Structure 1
Amino acid sequence: MKYYIIAGEASGDLHGSNLMKALYKEDANADIRFWGGDLMQSVGGVLVSHYKERAFMGFFEVLKNLSKVLGFIKFCKQDISKFKPDTIIFIDNSGFNLRVAKWAKQQGFTTNYYISPQVWASRASRVKDIKRDVDNMFVILPFEKEFYKKYNYDATFVGHPLIDGIAGRKQVNDQEFRKEYNLGNEKIIALLPGSRKQEITKMLSVMLSLLDDFSDYKFVIAGAPSQDYSFYQQIIGTKKVSFINNKTYDLLSISYAALVASGTATLETALFKVPQVVCYKGSTISYQIAKRIITLKFISLVNLIMDKEVVKELIQNDFNYKNLKQELIKILDETHRKKLFLEYYDLEKKLGGKGASNKVAKQIVTNLKKQK
């Protein structure tokens, strides 16, 4: 059968690659065409568009590049029409995917959504469109199923795919990894400033401002696969900091603490049991718009899932040298760390068991066979 998958960003590429592996197991003759990244491409199928080409962050940035975005949507519809898939699978990336989903449903395509748009965070009115345009919604956060139930829409909770990704990875030898990247023996503070240029530019310089205050620690930047080192170098300048590209999980596995940009990385860091400070800073316009439409108490997935402040969030103007230094001191304190570890274990329990990608693939293939 023919599958068309649309994913955006590094996290979508990761989850899309695991879903593709599961689809190939369920359907040996699967013909997959997709929008994604390097990880999905390494599994097989045909890559149509790389997510690097459309990595626009925030309302203002999207508006500024609106003609490009609309061009991608138009091309996507044309490509789907030519391929004529048996089903379309949307992964996160709501601004793009919900527009395509509306068109796809009108054309009679079967539609699946894996990793729900964050309609529980803002613009809940979009649920009406999802009910109309999405045949099957597979959610990965425990509270999402109950959220959709309030709108008489039956979503399927499959557990979080990060559980599989982290559990299935090859264990890193601490000493060998340190030797390979010349990290010495100091305790490591990982810096995860995000994957988009806009967020890295706004956050990395503030993170690096702490270097002199914590000279007994080794600061290491986790480089995103979507960005070249030359881009980071412009921000790093002459500062003495290590840089490791596309090895975030390996780095987190040996880290003592982390400063993390808001997003999926906050949950990944928690699952590696690394104490963290969550950071966010966007453009002033994007932030002001977001503040008016997002109704959540928290921005990090850790706190949202636990429904309380487990990790400290420094947002916009609160994300500065003084506050960041203060919060880093806290997560280096042994008493605070022990409390945080217990919260992290409770978090993992709430995320459900293993096999999210397998559950989604099995259900999609089963549904298609029933339609044949």
Structure 2
Amino acid sequence: MKYYLIAGEASGDLHASRLMRSLKSYDSEVEFRFFGGDLMAEVGGKPVRHYKELAYMGFVPVLLHLPTILRNMRMCKKDILAWKPDVIILVDYPGFNLKIARFVRKNYCIPVFYYISPKIWAWKEYRIRNIKRDVNELYSILPFEVPFFEQKHNYRIHYVGNPTVEEIETFRVRYVEQFVDFCERHELDNRPIIALLAGSRKQEIKDNLPAMIEAARHFEDYQIVVAGAPSVNKKFYDRFIAAAPVKIVSDETYQLLSNASVALVTSGTATLETALFNVPQVVCYATPVPMLVRFAFKHIIKVNYISLVNLIANREVVPELLADRFKISNIANELYKILPLQPGRAAMLESYRSIRSQLGDEIAPDNAARLIIHRLSEVQMHEE
């Protein structure tokens, strides 16, 4: 089978590469061609464009790079028609991928599958029309997306499991380092750790980290350790930690969470990772024009929460301090409630167990690969 994959971001490169490995294990005649990244290239196949030439976020960056984006889209369309794949597999990145899905439906009679569904439950719900029209199969990694698509929009999808669950389970089985050894290796002392996960992009770190540090400094019996993002140079953090009693551990977030007592975390996958490591957390997210953002959450944005933990639980398991609630005093107060021996800690850990149960034990890329190959075999039988 000839598989054409499109991933437009670093996370998509990771998830697509794992799906490709699973497809290879089930299909001995697999051929890959893709828009993606280095991880996908390691699996094999023909890279056409690197995601770094696609990944522009925000109105101004997209506007400035619009000619490049349009050129890449034209190239992608021509390349699909020239290579004649058996299936298109889109990975997240809806702004680009849904346009490709529409093009394929109008010009080429092959199935379009979507792995890691667009988050239209949070924003741009009208895109359901495009998905229904242009996407043949949709594979979700979040269990709450099933009722959203199937009950609210009458569109059948497949929940294949969450890849973060398997990644963390695999890491925890292999990780044997003791707390004292971790601290010695990173020149830390032996006090319990408050971990700060301030995001993976420089703007996020700039907006969130100073307040996180000031809130954590209220607790002198703890040491503060920042999780340095792999894509951010360690020197970038110096302006925030130089005058504070703070250490940084770069590119070892899982190791840090394995040894942390509590955490302050920005939104995103990091909130789910923290929960799966059973570390109580406070979610912090600074925003420009806080009151306007609060208005948007009440009247425009379609979800009640920003963290995956609360979205999966469909209730507030972890406190979310964003927009007008993002204040140092609020962060410190919520952090105190989840320290050891405080009542909020036990309640949060119990809720974590329920969330873990909801996610299940399916290995997402393996499950998705089996479903994809089964569906393609049905298509082939129908054509014959």
Q: TM-score, normalized by length of structure 1? A: 0.90
CA deviation profile, 1:248-293 (whole Å, cap 9, x unmatched): 2222122111111111111111111110111223444994895453
Partner of 1:232: 237
State the Cα distance separating 1:71 from its structure 2 match: 4.0
Matched, 1:168 2:175: no
How far the C-alpha of 1:230 sits from its partner, in A, is 3.1
Which residue of structure 2 aligns with residue 353 of structure 1?
361
Query: Residue by residue, what CA displacement relative to the aligned partner does 1:130-178 show, whole Å, maximum 9, x if unpaired?
Result: 0111110011222212221232211111121212111122224134333
Cα separation, partners in 2 of 1:184 and 1:55, compared to 1, 3 Å: farther
Match runs of 1:147-162 below 5 Å? 147-149=148-150, 150-162=152-164
Alpha-carbon separation, structure 1, partners of 2:269 and 2:326: 19
Change (3 A) 1:53 1:313: farther
Inter-partner Cα distance in structure 1 for 2:263 and 2:83: 44
* Structure 2 SS opposite 1:345: helix
Q: In structure 2, list runs of 5 or more residues that go unmatched.
A: none
Shift, 1:313, TM fit: 0.2
The Cα of 1:65 is off from its aligned counterpart by: 4.7
| Residue aligning to 1:244 | 249
The alpha carbon displacement at 1:57 in A equals 4.2
Aligned length: 372
Distance 1:81 1:288 in 2: 45
Instruction: Give deviations 1:178-231, integer Å, cap 9, x for gaps.
Output: 332223322122211122222222112222223532333222222222322233
Select between 55-64 and 125-134 the one with higher mean Cα deviation. Answer: 55-64
Larger of the two Rg values belongs to structure:
2
- The equivalent of 1:121 in structure 2 is 122
**Residue 135 of structure 1: aligned partner:** 136
Write the mapping of 1:1-372 to structure 2, written as runs, cut at 5 A: 1-59=1-59, 62-63=62-63, 65-108=65-108, 109-149=110-150, 150-169=152-171, 170-174=174-178, 175-284=180-289, 287=293, 291=297, 292-334=299-341, 335-372=343-380
Taking a change above 3 Å as real, the CA distance of residues 117 and 256 of structure 1, as seen in their structure-2 partners, is same
Name the SS for the 1:125 alignment partner. Answer: helix
* 1:102 to 1:350, Cα distance in 2 relative to 1, 3 A: same
The answer to which of 204-213 and 332-341 deviates more is 204-213
Tell me which amino acid in the other structure corresponds to 2:322.
I
State whether residues 141 and 163 of structure 2, in contact with CA within 8 Å, keep that contact through their aligned partners in structure 1: yes
Contact 1:172 1:250 in 2 (8 A): no
Partner SS, residue 142 of structure 1 = coil
CA distance in 2, matches of 1:206, 1:70: 39
Letter in structure 2 aligned against 1:131: K
Q: Per-residue CA shift, 1:300-337, capped at 9, x if unaligned?
A: 11111111110000112321222111111122142221
Amino acid at match of 1:231: F
3-state secondary structure, aligned to 1:24: helix
Over 3 Å counting, the alpha-carbon distance change for 1:83 and 1:324 in structure 2 is farther
Give distance in 1, aligned partners of 2:204 and 2:35. 23
Change (3 A) 1:215 1:51: farther
Q: How far apart in 2 are the matches of 1:330 and 1:361?
A: 43
The one-letter code matched in structure 2 to 1:310 is: V
Contact map agreement 1:19 1:358 (CA 8 A) in 2 = yes
1:66: how far off?
A: 4.2
Distance 1:221 1:40, change over 3 A: farther
Counterpart contact for 1:57–1:196, Cα < 8 Å: no
Query: How many Å apart are 1:52 and its aligned residue?
Result: 4.3
Structure 1 stretches of 5 or more lacking a match?
Answer: none
Q: Aligned-pair RMSD on alpha carbons?
A: 2.6
In structure 1, what is the Cα distance between the partners aligned to 2:138 and 2:149? 10
Contact 2:194–2:216 under 8 Å retained in 1: no
Asked whether the 8 Å contact 1:6–1:90 carries over to 2, the reply is: yes
SS at match of 2:256: helix
SS in 2 for 1:216: coil
Of structures 1 and 2, the one with the larger relative CO (CA 8 A, separation 6+) is: 1
